[in-house]
Amino acid sequence: MTQKIAILGASGYTGAELVRLIATHPSMEIVALAAERKAGLSMVEVFPHLRHLDLPSLVKIDEIDFTGIDLCFCALPHKTSQQVISALPRDLKIVDLSADFRLRDPEAYAKWYGNAHSAVEMQGEAVYGLTEFYRADIAKARLVAGTGCNAATGQFALRPLIAAGLIDLDDIIMDLKVGVSGAGRSLKENLLHAELSEGSNAYAVGGTHRHLGEFDQEFSAIAGREVKIQFTPHLAPFNRGILATCYVKGDAQAIHNALETAYDDEPFIEVLHFGATPSTHDVRGSNFCHIGVSGDRIAGRAIVTAALDNLTKGSSGQALQNANLMLGLEETAGLMLAPVFP
Amino acid sequence: MTQKIAILGASGYTGAELVRLIATHPSMEIVALAAERKAGLSMVEVFPHLRHLDLPSLVKIDEIDFTGIDLCFCALPHKTSQQVISALPRDLKIVDLSADFRLRDPEAYAKWYGNAHSAVEMQGEAVYGLTEFYRADIAKARLVAGTGCNAATGQFALRPLIAAGLIDLDDIIMDLKVGVSGAGRSLKENLLHAELSEGSNAYAVGGTHRHLGEFDQEFSAIAGREVKIQFTPHLAPFNRGILATCYVKGDAQAIHNALETAYDDEPFIEVLHFGATPSTHDVRGSNFCHIGVSGDRIAGRAIVTAALDNLTKGSSGQALQNANLMLGLEETAGLMLAPVFP
Amino acid sequence: MTQKIAILGASGYTGAELVRLIATHPSMEIVALAAERKAGLSMVEVFPHLRHLDLPSLVKIDEIDFTGIDLCFCALPHKTSQQVISALPRDLKIVDLSADFRLRDPEAYAKWYGNAHSAVEMQGEAVYGLTEFYRADIAKARLVAGTGCNAATGQFALRPLIAAGLIDLDDIIMDLKVGVSGAGRSLKENLLHAELSEGSNAYAVGGTHRHLGEFDQEFSAIAGREVKIQFTPHLAPFNRGILATCYVKGDAQAIHNALETAYDDEPFIEVLHFGATPSTHDVRGSNFCHIGVSGDRIAGRAIVTAALDNLTKGSSGQALQNANLMLGLEETAGLMLAPVFP
Amino acid sequence: MTQKIAILGASGYTGAELVRLIATHPSMEIVALAAERKAGLSMVEVFPHLRHLDLPSLVKIDEIDFTGIDLCFCALPHKTSQQVISALPRDLKIVDLSADFRLRDPEAYAKWYGNAHSAVEMQGEAVYGLTEFYRADIAKARLVAGTGCNAATGQFALRPLIAAGLIDLDDIIMDLKVGVSGAGRSLKENLLHAELSEGSNAYAVGGTHRHLGEFDQEFSAIAGREVKIQFTPHLAPFNRGILATCYVKGDAQAIHNALETAYDDEPFIEVLHFGATPSTHDVRGSNFCHIGVSGDRIAGRAIVTAALDNLTKGSSGQALQNANLMLGLEETAGLMLAPVFP
């Protein structure tokens, strides 16, 4: 049976990535696409690379009849997302790709996002969408909150280590190299090819990046105490990919073992042999995450690196993985596309 | 029924691309992978992006038992290819991605490739692999010769126009912008990131590029007279993609109509509306070819542009499309992957 | 004696490039920098790469006291430029980098730029700024109109051939590969790194690009009859550089000889040996233009390619070269910076 | 008076960068260029971007008559360098860009480079070439050992902090994003555009990178005790630039003050205002180093970032700066070229 799918916010990169993935999904059909400012346009006018697909035209959200729609992806900006979602039918399954339902604590939300949450009652309902760690809850959920792309990468590297008590919780440093598409389709000078290509710089330095809200929430919950990490993202001149380099204090070999054990049965998480390092080149366009562990010349220290594609495993691929679970489909359906290299 | 597939020359980019595509093909299984210099290695050691797949290790060609293999892709260098293929079992279906069987005339082969052909008897048997124009022959063929990637791009733009007598055959200029992967995994200074990124240059200027042999053969055959085009490829700093800009003399609107008619039922060839221009960004990682036609301010002249991904529609995707036909499968099987953008 | 320089429109790429070049000029000093929307900011806030320089802050144009200023560069948008320049002191030497004074015929201006010229009386005064061909006039000029960057590239390739009657004037095709910075610092989706990197596309196809106005004017004047070329620019993923590939009918060897002769004494124009092809990599960041000539396998045809840096020789370097002449300085002063490779 | 200069190893990137810089140096003249494998070629054949210069052809080292040569740059591979240098005239001033004379301790050299040093007697004579910290010694030196490019970047960020006792010496983490040209012109698969562009990966993880030898030597000497840092370089898809992100424990504001004080009079080191972050885009092609300091949300921690161009300030620019001192010239001569942006 084909599941009927709507995508709200279809004119951004994560919206386009959802369409790309669903295009070869065996049991989903896109029946509605919404984009406020581009309503009235065909999808081909907004994304010519989707030309071969027979897709509905873009409409405004309130033009959609949600009767008969099985699941709705929301790829809207945060704040807009909570408003739109709280007005959707109560029995509609929703995967939200925005930041609006990631943080369970309304105060934490207000702190990191600068505005009071307008749908607090739904925050409780929402399940955090890091599939590998919330699988059972996601399968039963009506509303799943997709994780931040950086937050996903870092958690894949560190959750099993925190859970196993293998690393010093007071000294975790995470340095990220982040591809451009993570910034979305926004028109900013620093995202122009002329300004961004051929160099790199740090941003949101010093603990100001919003994804820290997710790390704080999740790592503290696992550890049973407050955990605060240091986190510095760097913009790098590639379109897809996040590479997280995590500096931790603990036994490197034990860390490697813990990660291998944790992800042994996972279809999308690959732990490399000890000492090997992953590359974002090797996961581009796919739903896979590669993780590497190395010891340092200083005893008791380890470097854990994780690479994934921010638009796939970091957002739209994760969203589809969750949707599969929510709809009772095979979790990997439509997601086994091999990475595109070179 | 699953078709058993061997790939010879699996350590190059076209070999890896074949594996990528077959990974989600519904009815093919890779049972043998050969690479002379890298025999003994696992595929993951050569291409870490294929880590999630359960693939046979690389062996030497003569270690393969071809019994039970339904089809063999040869992604070997030219000259090596003819030697290897002439030693393969006579009943094995073969799709060759090299240049060795593209030219039907042994003299033309010797002229463009600088050596006498050592398997002249098989040249007659081979069918030229431009699927959209040799479909029926390919379906019956034992040996199909994949086209040059530039040759494919240019032919998609011009074959219907030559066939319909719509353009001046003595004044065809084709200017190509070619992505880096077309040069393969060869270690040359000009292919280093430091030397190739951030700029462009022409190469093989003046009619010396080997793909001209294919244009000469095919265009002359269609026209029923000798046709020689001007052809200048340019290396440009992107990994996948060919953009062919063709300057022709003829009526632009008639040309557009002819292309629309020719490709109306084709699953992979998309003709844009009159005046629109295709971009390699919109076909990356896919088997699609986008074609655009514009008139010029000078009456009686038209510009026809075509964009495809050299590793997919230009080589490995085309090869798989042909293999599907040869094995009696759906022609589009495994090939409907949407382009990867951004 | 140090010449006092003002730059209007200093917050764009050509403005920054002027500052970069003047920074090591032996006898110029920047005394005023204007940028309407960014007035009040320091130059470092707009261009952090200029941090080491002691520069005046950005002001509005009408805040500048032009007394004592020897020469003013205008790097403003077209249309604004003519308004601003017609209000400047009548004895101020001006090098305009906009399109406003390139076309001598007001009707041609209106046709290509879509608005009537508001300073027609100054159009007669302005000298076309292609230094190598208007040197004597420029030295005496008060107002020099910098050329289009594409227009400069193509003229370097073809002017001597048209002048010498060496090529068929009815069949000139120019195909350009143009770097991103040519589009300026404008916020457009197609200029984002995520959308522009890793691919190429044609634009302004069919004879609609405004630089054709310059080609028409100049080539027709040289030939003494109307000359219309075909011209197709392509956006390519590099920041600096234009590569023009010109397809002409004529004797390749004679063409090479004519170019060698024409540029024999030119400090910035380098003609490669016959058959060699220039690369934009080899002129990046410099005021040099490299030109190559090859014959084609079809007798009587030649390919002339020219490469320059659009921000340097194509605009700000050319502007400085002209300013040097206008101020009685050494023409090459401040301009002998070697290209940056890799 | 013009100083006569020789460059050994002129066919690599640092050799070409030396030529680029010397091209506009007011008082140096290149009189000899050597490159073993490319001896006999003209420099234009090896580096077409230097076409406008009148340079001596490449010869073998033993063909050079060093009489009358004032200073020799050696841009040779390590190990070769020590052999060549020990055979040069004893009164020749030498700036070595290799790793051979960076480490004062022969055992440290053997440990990091895997071979015994064959010119131990000269190790004592060599002065470490980090100009800003060895200025007086360099001015008197006959042989100066250029620093590693990564080693320079990290030392600019941290030396004043270690000297002032402002940071915890047992917990220094340095994460680098390194441009491609740092790997030189070597033909390796991972340096091909197709494999390196569009992604990032860590390398030499865990304390194995040779530049650690320099950090160990220098930081321990400053601190008066053994200092071992953690150091992880990452290959990123840009040609020029190193961005070092240093995670330290100490008071961020005091750190900023110390850096401002240390570099207040330095012509090439720019400390940004507190909280600002440097970008490699802003130093490309120049001899400048930009440094930023931010505090972290965790009290007592700071992030110090430094950006420079590996080929200029990281090697050839530094080398020229040292040569200026050794020859009694203005230290900044030929080095005030503004960064190239975009």
Q: Using an 8 Å Cβ cutoff, are A339 and B285 in contact? A: no
- Block residue for tokens 């760097």: A234
Let me know if residue A336 belongs to a domain. no
Specify whether C155 is located in the same domain as C123. Answer: no
Contact list in C for residue D24 (CB cut-off 8 A) is: 24, 336-338
- Quote the mean pLDDT of chain B: 97
Specify whether C201 is located in the same domain as C129. Answer: no
pLDDT tens digits, one per residue of D84-136: 999 999 999 999 999 999 999 999 999 999 999 999 999 889 999 999 999 99
Subunits with 3+ C-beta pairs closer than 8 A to D: A, B, C
Interatomic CA distance for residues B247 and A342, integer angstroms: 31
Q: How many CB atoms are closer than 10 A to CB B251?
A: 16
Tokens of C87: 């209000």
- Closest partner residue to A194 (CB to CB) among C180, C189, C198 is C180
Let me know if residue D335 belongs to a domain. no
Specify whether D163 is located in the same domain as D293. Answer: yes
Q: Using an 8 Å Cβ cutoff, are D288 and D313 in contact? A: yes
Interatomic CA distance for residues A265 and A290, integer angstroms: 14
Specify whether C8 is located in the same domain as C106. Answer: yes
Specify whether A125 is located in the same domain as A222. Answer: no
- Whether D24 sits inside 8 A of C337 (CB atoms) is yes
Instruction: Tell me the average pLDDT across C319-328.
Output: 98
The answer on pLDDT for B124 being more than 90 is no
Contact list in D for residue C179 (CB cut-off 8 A) is: none
Our CA-based measurement puts residue B301 at a distance from the nearest CA of chain C, in whole angstroms, of: 9
Let me know if residue B333 belongs to a domain. no
Contact list in D for residue A171 (CB cut-off 8 A) is: 171
pLDDT tens digits, one per residue of A147-170: 999 999 999 999 999 999 999 999
The answer on pLDDT for C1 being more than 90 is no
Specify whether D190 is located in the same domain as D298. Answer: yes
**Predicted local distance difference test score (pLDDT) of residue A32:** 98
The answer on pLDDT for B1 being more than 90 is no
**Predicted local distance difference test score (pLDDT) of residue A1:** 79
pLDDT tens digits, one per residue of C191-211: 999 999 999 999 999 999 999
Interatomic CA distance for residues B258 and B264, integer angstroms: 10
- Whether B197 sits inside 8 A of D237 (CB atoms) is yes
**Predicted local distance difference test score (pLDDT) of residue A159:** 98
Let me know if residue D340 belongs to a domain. no
Size of interface A-D (CB pairs under 8 A): 155
The answer on pLDDT for B192 being more than 90 is yes
pLDDT tens digits, one per residue of A279-324: 999 999 999 999 999 999 999 999 999 999 999 999 999 999 999 9
Let me know if residue B337 belongs to a domain. no
pLDDT tens digits, one per residue of B79-123: 999 999 999 999 999 999 999 999 999 999 999 999 999 999 998
Q: What is the pLDDT confidence band of residue A237, given thresholds at 50, 70 and 90? A: very high
Contact list in C for residue A181 (CB cut-off 8 A) is: 194
The answer on pLDDT for C333 being more than 90 is yes
Size of interface B-D (CB pairs under 8 A): 52
Q: Are strands C71-74 and A230-235 parallel, antiparallel or unpaired?
A: unpaired
Query: Which value, to the nearest 10 degrees, does the dihedral of the CA atoms of residues B75, B79, B82, B87 take?
Result: -90
- Quote the mean pLDDT of chain C: 97
Our CA-based measurement puts residue B303 at a distance from the nearest CA of chain C, in whole angstroms, of: 7
Our CA-based measurement puts residue C295 at a distance from the nearest CA of chain B, in whole angstroms, of: 6
Going by C-alpha positions, the residue among D70, D73, D20 that lies closest to residue D43 is D20
What is the DSSP code string of A85-137?
Answer: HHTS-TT-EEEE-SSTTT-S-HHHHHHHHSS--S-HHHHTTPEE--HHHHHHH
- Quote the mean pLDDT of chain A: 97
Q: What is the pLDDT confidence band of residue A110, given thresholds at 50, 70 and 90? A: very high
Specify whether B140 is located in the same domain as B170. Answer: no
The answer on pLDDT for D342 being more than 90 is yes
Q: Using an 8 Å Cβ cutoff, are A305 and A244 in contact? A: yes
Going by C-alpha positions, the residue among A99, D59, A189, A164 that lies closest to residue C192 is A189
- Closest partner residue to D340 (CB to CB) among C20, C24, C342 is C20
Query: CB-based contacts of D265: which residues, under 8 Å, 6+ apart?
Result: none
pLDDT tens digits, one per residue of D212-232: 999 999 999 999 999 999 999
**What's the Cα-to-Cα distance from D337 to each of A182, A200, C285, rounded to whole Å?**
34, 21, 11
Domain encompassing residue C226: 150-309
Q: At A7, which CATH number?
A: 3.40.50.720
Share of chain B above pLDDT 90, in %: 98
- Closest partner residue to D197 (CB to CB) among B188, B189, B197 is B197
Would you say the C-alpha torsion A274, D206, A312, A111 has a positive or negative sign?
A: positive
The answer on pLDDT for D1 being more than 90 is no
Let me know if residue D187 belongs to a domain. yes
- Whether D50 sits inside 8 A of C338 (CB atoms) is yes
Subunits with 3+ C-beta pairs closer than 8 A to C: A, B, D
Number of domains into which chain A is organized:
2
Report ipTM (2 d.p.): 0.97
- Quote the mean pLDDT of chain D: 97
Interatomic CA distance for residues B80 and A15, integer angstroms: 46
Share of chain D above pLDDT 70, in %: 100
Subunits with 3+ C-beta pairs closer than 8 A to B: A, C, D
Specify whether D25 is located in the same domain as D122. Answer: yes
Interface test with D, best of A169, A170, A175 (most D CBs within 10 A): A175
Q: At C160, which CATH number?
A: 3.30.360.10
Q: What is the pLDDT confidence band of residue B217, given thresholds at 50, 70 and 90? A: very high
Specify whether D167 is located in the same domain as D300. Answer: yes
Give the largest Cα separation in chain B, rounded: 61
Chain B residue whose CA is closest to A342: B239
Cα A279 to chain centroid distance, Å, stands at 18
Specify whether A163 is located in the same domain as A196. Answer: yes
Let me know if residue B57 belongs to a domain. yes
The answer on pLDDT for C124 being more than 90 is no
The residue type found at A184 is G
**Predicted local distance difference test score (pLDDT) of residue C161:** 98
Q: What is the pLDDT confidence band of residue C123, given thresholds at 50, 70 and 90? A: confident
Sheet holding B71-74, edge to edge: B58-59, B28-34, B3-8, B71-74, B93-96, B143-145, B127-128
Q: What is the pLDDT confidence band of residue B249, given thresholds at 50, 70 and 90? A: very high
Q: What is the pTM of this model?
A: 0.97
Specify whether C132 is located in the same domain as C175. Answer: no
Instruction: Tell me the average pLDDT across A126-131.
Output: 98
Going by C-alpha positions, the residue among D68, D73, D86 that lies closest to residue D35 is D73
Tokens of C147: 């050329």
In chain A, which residues touch B (CB < 8 A)?
13, 16, 19-20, 23-24, 47-53, 180-181, 197-198, 239-240, 267-268, 270, 278-279, 281-286, 288, 290, 336-342
pLDDT tens digits, one per residue of D7-16: 999 999 999 9
Contact list in C for residue D308 (CB cut-off 8 A) is: none
Specify whether C154 is located in the same domain as C109. Answer: no
- Confirm whether D149 is a catalytic residue: yes
pLDDT tens digits, one per residue of C45-55: 999 999 999 99
Q: Using an 8 Å Cβ cutoff, are A59 and A43 in contact? A: no
DSSP state of C202: E
- Residues A181-184: contacts with CB within 8 Å, 24+ apart? A181/A13, A181/A239, A181/A240, A181/A310, A181/A311, A181/B342, A181/C194, A182/A149, A182/A150, A182/A242, A182/A310, A182/A314, A183/A235, A183/C194, A184/A12, A184/A13, A184/A14
pLDDT tens digits, one per residue of C94-119: 999 999 999 999 999 999 999 999 99
Interface test with C, best of B181, B193, B200, B291 (most C CBs within 10 A): B200
Let me know if residue A340 belongs to a domain. no
Chain C residue whose CA is closest to B239: C198
